[in-house]
Amino acid sequence: MTDVLSPESRFAPGTFTPSPGRGRVSRMLFTQARTELLLNLRHAEQLLLTMIIPMALLIGLSTLPLLPIDEPRVDSVAPRVFALAVISTAFTGQAIMLGFDRRYGVLKRLAATALPRWSLVAARVLANLAIVAVQLLLLGVVAAFLGWTPSLAGVAGGVCLLLLGVAAFGALGVLVGGALRAEAVLAIANAVWFVLLLAGGVVLPVDSLPDGLAAVVRLLPSSALAEGMESVLREGAFPGWAPLVVLLGWATVAGVSAVRTTRLT
């Protein structure tokens, strides 16, 4: 090789002397989760999906007599909109972000660093939980102004359902976002969100759907989460094992499938 390293080279000898090693795991995990959270929070379409649409539905359905819902309307609407918020973030938002992240090669880039594989997933989970926390805080405050009076006895059950909901929809989001082309992910994730919103037991109670459809919809994670949230937060009642089993089942099946199908690029 010829002497490219002339005396006026901009790199002093010893600049690149190897000193490799893994960073602190807590710092890696925190930095990646914070980066993903900030990316979500400054992404306009994500905010529309995760914050603005759920907020508009909360206010609209609580104040206008659009749907056959018992009074006080906000006591039914708020828990169902919480469920929608989880679907928006963990499923649709996550699938779309993942689809485009793969397109731009970020998974390969991160896999090429010292980040352990589990922390690639853990950081996404943390970022999603943080977004859901922000959503619930904002939606909860607005609901309170609309006269929402949740049953405090149901709060613990509600948190359990939310965590299971994030797990089930998060796994489904990775399943869709981790295997298909970005454009296909965009189309499917938005279409599924819209169908679940209208016919998946989210805003319309399952009981108001035709019988045949209702039987199917009861097995969907969307209805399990929305109906479960309404029963714990409105009545403070144990939602029964059915919604817990449905959510856990979807989380397991989608999670196991996603591990097999997710590709880095």
Partner 1 sequence: MTLRLGSTVVSPTADEPAVQVRGLVKRYRTTVAVNGLDLTLPRGQVLALLGPNGAGKTTTVEICEGFLRPDGGSVRVLGLDPVADAPRLRPRVGIMPQGGGAYPGVGAEEMLRLVAACAAAPLDVDWLLRVLGLEGARRTRYKRLSGGQKQRLSLACALVGRPELVFLDEPTAGMDPQSRLLVWELVAALRADGVSVLLTTHLMDEAEELADQVVIVDHGAVVARGSPSELTATDDQQLRFRTRPGLDTDVLAGALPAGCVVSEPRPGTYVVRGTITPQVASTVTAWCARHEAYAQDMRVATRSLEDVFLELTGRELRS
Q: Which lies closer to partner 1 via its Cβ, residue 41 or residue 253?
A: 41
Report the distance separating Cα 178 and Cα 172, nearest Å.
10
Please give the Cα distance from 152 to 146 (Å, whole number).
Answer: 17
Query: Considering the complex, what minimum distance in angstroms separates the CB of residue 107 from partner 1?
Result: 8
Nearer to partner 1, 7 or 68 (CB): 7
Distance CA 226, CA 255 (A): 21
Q: Which of 71, 88, 83, 87 lies closest to 148, judged by CA? A: 71
Q: State the virtual CA torsion across 210, 208, 60, 194 in degrees, nearest 10.
A: -30
Q: Which residues contact 85 (CB under 8 A, 6 or more apart)?
A: 50, 54, 132, 135, 136, 139
- In the complex, minimum distance from the CB of residue 152 to partner 1, in angstroms, rounded to a whole number: 39
Contacting positions for partner 1 (CB under 8 A): 1-5, 9-11, 13-23, 27-28, 31-32, 35-36, 38-39, 42-43, 100-101, 103-109, 111-116, 264
Which pair of structure tokens corresponds to residue 192? 């599924």
Q: In angstroms, what is the minimal distance from the CB of 20 to partner 1?
A: 4
- Rank residues 174 and 229 by Cβ distance to partner 1 and give the closer one: 174
The distance of closest approach from Cβ of residue 130 to partner 1 in the complex, given in angstroms and rounded to an integer, is 16
Minimum CB distance to partner 1, residue 14 (Å) = 6
Cβ proximity to partner 1, 108 vs 181, nearer residue: 108
The Cα 47–Cα 63 span in angstroms is 23
- Read off the tokens for 97: 């972000």
In the complex with partner 1, which residue's Cβ is closer, 19 or 212?
19
